């Protein structure tokens, strides 16, 4: 047995069978672990218990995650046999009724420490790009993000999915990796008129329509419309990039009906300078109602209130007077005109009128 804070890692037993069947029937487990059978039966659970014994014989490890007081099954966690380079891969699944209270992170941290105590020098963890919960677990357990493996795993539908690669070394501190950009409080930002939500794969069609509008393309950098595939990938990867601190991508919605009205982002984030850039675009039906100004205000105030950012900037075309008005109403000040700063159509260069807003003093 391995103590793991709020849980215990122990040997899986036949008494876990019914709980395993219930847990592995969860749609999220089926979505992100394609080798879990659907539907999941008692025979599948019994096969898992037999495979767990074989994992040890092959040089791996397999544990049940359990409640330390009752012994009740809460999930599975294990290590694959060492790869040719000496590293091992950790994998886990947690039952729906045990999520949201640090069970996965505690189990992952404890099993990693156990592996290091048994001579392992590197533990690897892989998570699908859209599996943000698993990526948060990795960071909470002290794993460092190392990159993305393109088409790293086959999905249930026969396609391939990208994987985010994390690792923790025996020499690492194991301390929680805290993202520079926190999640939105309560999952969204709203002033009662507009609501901002993290951009997701389900927003791809609306996002693509928006980014393909001629007047949006004209003021984009570079001024080129994305392909449908690029828009889909952009939305699919948005949550992952939020966790890395690279940018925060959000959909602008009506607070009343939740309909997609536009897009806003906090990007070009430079933590040492405590500076980031805001950018936005709106569907035609949502323009002229002050929604963009409200969205810029919400994002800027969130940045100042929930991160260490002290300066938010924006760049506009000198001809984009509508955007100038948005920024002025949102409390931004004209900063400078940079001549030929941006790529234009062909080999041309375009001027960039820059704006800024500072964190309130005190």
**Continuous H helices in 199-244:** 204-211, 214-218, 228-244
Q: Is 30 exposed, middle or buried (0-12, 13-18, 19+ CB in 10 A)?
A: middle
- In tens, the pLDDT along 75-127 reads 999 999 999 998 999 999 999 999 999 999 999 999 999 999 999 999 999 99
- In tens, the pLDDT along 310-361 reads 999 999 999 999 999 999 999 999 999 999 999 999 999 999 999 999 999 8
Give the pLDDT score at 134.
98
Q: Is the pLDDT of residue 23 over 90?
A: yes
**DSSP 8-state assignment for residue 35:** T
* b/e map 242-267, b = 16+ CB within 10 Å: bbbbbbbbbbbbeeeeeebbbbbbbe
Mean pLDDT computed over every residue of the chain? 97
- 185-358 adopts what CATH topology? Aminopeptidase (3.40.630)
Q: Is the pLDDT of residue 362 over 80?
A: no
CATH homologous superfamily of 2-169 equals Gcn5-related N-acetyltransferase (GNAT) (3.40.630.30)
Give the pLDDT score at 127.
98
- In tens, the pLDDT along 268-321 reads 999 999 999 999 999 999 999 999 999 999 999 999 999 999 999 999 999 999
pTM of the full predicted structure? 0.94
- In tens, the pLDDT along 143-197 reads 999 999 999 999 999 999 999 999 999 999 999 999 999 999 999 999 999 999 9
How many whole angstroms separate alpha carbon 87 and alpha carbon 83?
6
Q: How confident is the model at residue 1 (pLDDT cuts 50, 70, 90)?
A: confident
Residues 6+ apart with CB under 8 A from 173: 142
CA distance readout (Å), 170 to 90, 277, 282:
14, 37, 48
Domain boundaries along the sequence of the chain: 2-169, 185-358
Radius of gyration of the chain (CA): 24
Equal fold, 2-169 vs 185-358: yes
Cβ atoms within 10 Å of 336's Cβ, excluding its own:
11
């Amino acid at each position: 047995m391995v103590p793991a804070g709020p849980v215990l890692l122990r040997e899986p037993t036949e008494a876990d069978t019914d709980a395993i069947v219930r847990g592995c029937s969860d749609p999220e487990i089926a979505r992100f672990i394609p080798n879990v059978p659907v539907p999941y039966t008692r025979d599948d659970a019994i096969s898992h218990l037999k495979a767990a014994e074989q994992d040890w014989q092959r040089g791996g490890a397999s544990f049940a995650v359990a409640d330390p007081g009752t012994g009740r099954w809460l999930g599975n966690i294990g290590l694959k046999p060492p790869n040719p380079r000496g590293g091992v891969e950790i994998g886990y699944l947690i039952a729906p009724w045990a999520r949201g209270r640090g069970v996965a992170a505690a189990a992952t941290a404890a099993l990693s420490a156990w592996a290091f105590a048994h001579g392992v020098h590197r533990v690897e963890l892989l998570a699908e790009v859209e599996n943000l919960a698993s990526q948060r677990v990795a960071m909470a357990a002290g794993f460092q993000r190392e990159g993305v493996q393109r088409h790293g795993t086959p999905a249930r539908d026969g396609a391939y999915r990208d994987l985010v690669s994390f690792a923790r070394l025996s020499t690492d501190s194991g301390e929680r990796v805290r993202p520079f950009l926190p999640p939105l409080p309560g999952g969204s930002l709203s002033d009662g008129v507009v609501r901002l939500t993290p951009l997701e794969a389900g927003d791809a069609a609306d996002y693509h329509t928006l980014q393909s509008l001629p007047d949006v393309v004209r003021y984009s950098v570079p001024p080129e419309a994305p392909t449908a595939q690029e828009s889909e990938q952009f939305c699919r990867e948005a949550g992952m990039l939020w966790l890395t601190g690279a940018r925060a991508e959000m959909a602008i919605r009506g607070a009343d009906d939740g309909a997609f009205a536009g897009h806003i982002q906090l990007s070009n984030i430079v933590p040492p300078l405590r500076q980031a850039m805001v950018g936005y675009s709106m569907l035609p039906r949502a323009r002229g109602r002050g929604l963009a100004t409200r969205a810029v205000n919400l994002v800027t105030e969130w940045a100042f209130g929930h991160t260490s950012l002290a300066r938010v900037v924006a760049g506009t075309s000198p001809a984009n007077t509508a955007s100038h008005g948005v920024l002025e109403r949102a409390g931004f000040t004209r900063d400078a005109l940079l001549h030929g700063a941006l790529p234009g159509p062909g080999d041309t260069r375009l001027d960039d009128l820059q704006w800024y807003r500072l964190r309130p003093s005190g």
